[in-house]
Amino acid sequence: MVSQKAAALSTTYSDNIILVAEAVAGDAATVNTWITDTQANDPKLVFVGEGLLSITSILDPAKLQFTQDDFVFVENLYSSIFVLSADAKLNINSMDDLKAYVESGEQVSVAVNGATSSEAFLAAALFGSMGAGEHLKLVPYTSAAEAAQAVAKGETNFAVSHQSQILETYEQGGVSIVCAFDEKAIENGPFSGVEGVGQYGYPYFRNRCFIMARAGTDAATVANLKDLYDQILADDEVKTWLQDTMLLEVDTMSTEDVNAHVENVKGIVNEYKDIVAG
């Protein structure tokens, strides 16, 4: 939906670049095919995130027929700040409440979208760094929506999810929102004010959607594309829609920012992969 929004506005901000509504999806098989079928200056762009660059590259590198060097970064389309929700019956509403729960030695079960997903590593990093790794049970689901709903059904104590996926359950009173996986409190939307784990020194990362071109693409072409995306993402209508409707963040980045993000997530994966992958 975000790429469609950007495409619809591309003609407003550029006379000679028209963005397509969908870039190539960022799963391993699709990106492998994109790598095979494209070369420098190909107009087809691709979405890539930390799932491939930082997680799959460590846990299952044989699945990837590319490295980060095969891409040139254009822009970050958006960032999503994951949140930790808790079964409302547990009455865990803050980091202090969570610390008390962990210190009690209770079993910690967390619903996540996929066994080795970004959500799984965020859960492992938080509870592992809190000293609860031995009590942690990650419960993988086949979709983000199922994982978000599991905690309200009593199938798990906690869930890690995108804000938009847990919002309805939160509004119905089934869960409390404990914390956000960011450096500070959430600033926008219905979860504004929810504390960031980074405020307490715990590891975190945002889920990001990098728009990539093929390596070797002319620098001027990349610069023009980045400038167009930056103008679109600075549009007040787009910013408001992202923050209030999609519960996502406008989060433009540089190549250096991307490299730092990839390395940060790799560090978390390497530290907590025994908890996640067993």
Which CATH architecture group holds 82-200?
3-Layer(aba) Sandwich (3.40)
The pTM score is 0.96
- Tens digit of each residue's pLDDT (9 = 90 or more) over 196-222: 999 999 999 999 999 999 999 999 999
Provide the pLDDT for residue 21.
64
Superfamily of domain 1-79+206-277: Bordetella uptake gene, domain 1 (3.40.190.150)
Provide the pLDDT for residue 17.
83
Percentage above 70 pLDDT, the chain: 98
Residue 191 clears pLDDT 90, i.e. is over it: yes
What does DSSP assign to residue 198? G
Work out the pLDDT band at 26, boundaries 50, 70, 90: confident
**From CA 174, how far away is CA 41, in angstroms rounded?**
50
**From CA 221, how far away is CA 106, in angstroms rounded?**
55
Residue carrying the six token digits 């997530």: 265
> Does the fold of domain 82-200 match that of domain 1-79+206-277?
yes
- Tens digit of each residue's pLDDT (9 = 90 or more) over 219-235: 999 999 999 999 999 99
- Tens digit of each residue's pLDDT (9 = 90 or more) over 103-133: 999 889 999 999 999 999 999 999 999 999 9
The structural domains of the chain, with segments of one domain joined by +, span 1-79+206-277, 82-200
**From CA 253, how far away is CA 263, in angstroms rounded?**
15
Q: How many CA atoms lie within 13 A of 186 on its CB side?
A: 26
